[in-house]
Amino acid sequence: MGLYKKFVNQTRKPEGFLGRMMVKGMNSGHVKLADWGMSHLDGITALNIAELGCGGGRNTAELLKRYPQAEVTALDYSEVSVKKTQEYNKDMITAGRCRVIQGNVSELPFEDGVFDLATAFETVYFWPGLKHCFSQVYRILKPGGAFMICNESDGIDETGQKYERIIEGMKCYTIDELSSALTAAGFTEIKSDRCDSKPWITVIARK
C-alpha cells in the first residue's frame, strides 16, 4: 500500500503518526462543511449532546460554543482521536462541560434516553451496520431528541466514489439510503438538505 493510500485510510480509524496527522488535518479541512451542517441546528435546543465520531475535537468545541448551557460527550473509537479531542477541549473538560471517551457506535456506552441531540460529522461512512448503529443512537436519545448527520459526499459524487475505492470499509450513502435506515431504526420527522454548490448533505431525524 502506497503512502497516500495509507494516509487516507487513516480517516477510518486514525492510528500512530499518520493518524495524528490525519486528525490534525480534520480540524482545519472540514471547517466549512461542519459549519454548514451546524447551521441546520438553528431552532434545536439541547442541554446534553453526544458528538459521535469526534475526530480531532473541533466540532465538539463548536457545539460547546453554540450551546453554552450544554454538556457535550464526545466519543470516538480511535485512541488518537480521543487524545486529540481531549487536548483541543481541555478547558471545557476542566470546567466540567465536556467529557471524551473511547467507544464504538455499534454498542454505545450510554444509558437509554439521556441526550437531547446527537451529531455525526463525516463518520457514518464507516459505521458497521447502519440500521443497528442508528438504533443505538435512537436508544440514547430522549423522546423528541434530534440526530444530525453531516456528510461531504452525497453518495453519488465522483470524489466520494473515488475514496470508496481506496479506503477500506468506506461507504458513501445517499439521502434516501440514510433516511431509509433512520426510519427502520425508529426515527421520524426526517428532514434533509443538500448544498447548492457542493455534494454536501445533512439529514436530521427526530425520536
- Domain map (residue ranges) of the chain: 3-206
For 152, the grid coordinates are 461531504
Higher local confidence (pLDDT), 143 or 1: 143
Classified as helix, coil or strand, 105 is helix
Q: How confident is the model at residue 14 (pLDDT cuts 50, 70, 90)?
A: low
Query: pLDDT tens digits, residue range 139-176?
Result: 999 999 999 999 999 999 988 898 788 778 789 999 99
Residue 26: closest CA among 11, 48, 40: 11
C-alpha distances in angstroms, 52 versus 47, 165, 189?
Answer: 16, 24, 21
Q: Which residue in the block uniquely carries the three cell numbers 451496520?
A: 129
Of residues 39 and 29, more confidence is placed in: 39
The pLDDT value given to residue 162: 85
CATH number of 3-206: 3.40.50.150
pLDDT tier at 180, thresholds 50, 70, 90: very high
